[in-house]
Amino acid sequence: MKKLSARRRHPAAALVVLLLALACTGGLYAVFAPADKAQADETAQSLTIEEGKKLYAVDCASCHGTGGQGTSDGPSLVGVGAAAVDFQVGTGRMPAATSQGAQIPRKKPVYTQAEIDALAAYVASLGAGPAIPAESQYSPEGADIAKGGELFRNNCAQCHNFTGKGGALTHGKYAPNLEDVDPKHIYEAMLTGPQNMPSFPDSTLSEQNKKDIIAYLDEVNSQDTENPGGLELGGLGPVSEGLFGWIFGLGGLIAVAVWVAARTAKAKKS
């Protein structure tokens, strides 16, 4: 101890202490934080499942059954997977209002992402299903936009319109507009097929295909989409544009003509 304290004013002392401190912090971090990933995850997972189960009992069980087995008011959640929960709750579709119209609409989400994750973990524990995708899976970066366009027109455009503006289905159902929908939710929708949308599992529409489609939508249907002509009128093409021209263009001309003729040019107004 004497020797050590005698060297405390050595020029290298500060450096040695700093290195020791860094090593300690790093070591402690390695011990407690992500080092033992599997173990840490397992405990965290079972905790979130417990939390999710509580949330589920409050808001979901009345329709989907106490064990997710489904009732006459809601389908079984066994095997739908975490991705379906993240989509349905994350886009505010669930929890749904008690009396629904033809289709459950998108609304402001009720739960925080942490609560959604807990619910998803609980539902995933009921039966194996698609997991919530990682950001690398759905991020539009590095995807082929042209290929995405081709895939979108082949698989999605029949309902969602060529640029994802949405469209009508039977009996008041509709395919929603995809403008500025979170790429994660688009990915999950393709994976799980919410409501009447068919699913496009990885076995028929690969991960890369999905990424391409998301990149295409990001390009053609977002707040920042470049639209050289402006005023795309729902992206329906020449029919709606012609109708708009006939009604508002010609209508405007008629209105101007009537206005001109209705005003007298005479000095004495009658």
Partner 1 sequence: MSSQIPEENLPAAQDTAHGAVGVADEKNPFADPGLPPHEHRRQDIDERAAKRSERTVALLFTVSMLATIGFIAAFVAIPVDKIVYIFPFGHVSALNFALGVTLGVSLFTIGAGAVHWARTLMSDEELTDERHAIEAEPEVRAKVMDDFRQGAKESQLGRRKLIRNTMFGALAVVPLSGVVLLRELGPLPEDKLRHTLWSKGKLLINQNTGEPMRPSDIVTGSLTFAKPEGLEEHDHDFNNEIAKAALMLVRIQPEDIKDKRTMEWGHEGILAYSKICTHVGCPISLYEQQTHHVLCPCHQSTFDLSDGAKVIFGPAGHALPQLRIGVNDEGYLEALSDFEEPVGPAFWERG
DSSP 69-126: --BTTB---TT-HHHHHHHHHHTT-SSPPSS--SSPPP---SS-HHHHHHHHHHHHHH
Question: Based on CB atoms, which residue is closest to partner 1, 92 or 173?
Answer: 173
Nearest-angstrom CA–CA distance, 127 and 26: 39
The radius of gyration of the chain's CA atoms, rounded to the nearest angstrom, is 29
The secondary structure of residue 218, as a DSSP letter, is H
Number of residues engaging partner 1 in binding (CB under 8 A): 36
Nearest-angstrom CA–CA distance, 195 and 106: 12
170 touches partner 1 by CB under 8 A: yes
Contact code string over 146-165 relative to partner 1, x by CB under 8 A: -----x--xx--xx------
The two structure tokens encoding residue 180: 């500025």
| Cα dihedral 203, 205, 206, 210 in deg (nearest 10) | -150
240 touches partner 1 by CB under 8 A: no
226 touches partner 1 by CB under 8 A: yes
The two structure tokens encoding residue 198: 């068919």
262 touches partner 1 by CB under 8 A: no
Question: Based on CB atoms, which residue is closest to partner 1, 115 or 199?
Answer: 199
39 touches partner 1 by CB under 8 A: no
The secondary structure of residue 132, as a DSSP letter, is P
Question: Based on CB atoms, which residue is closest to partner 1, 117 or 188?
Answer: 188
Residue 73: count of CB within 10 angstroms of its CB: 12
**Of 25-33, 41-49, 53-61, 262-270, which part binds partner 1 (CB under 8 A)?**
262-270
Please say whether the beta carbons of 52 and 114 come within 8 A.
no
Beta bridge partners of 167: 175
71 touches partner 1 by CB under 8 A: no
Residue of the chain from 200, 215, 216, 220 that contacts partner 1 (CB under 8 A):
200
167 touches partner 1 by CB under 8 A: yes
Minimum separation from the CB atom of position 260 to partner 1 (A): 6
**Of 8-16, 29-37, 90-98, 196-204, which part binds partner 1 (CB under 8 A)?**
196-204
Question: Under the rule (CB under 8 A), what is the footprint of partner 1?
Answer: 151, 154-155, 158-159, 167, 169-170, 173, 175, 193, 195-201, 203-206, 209, 224-231, 260, 265-268
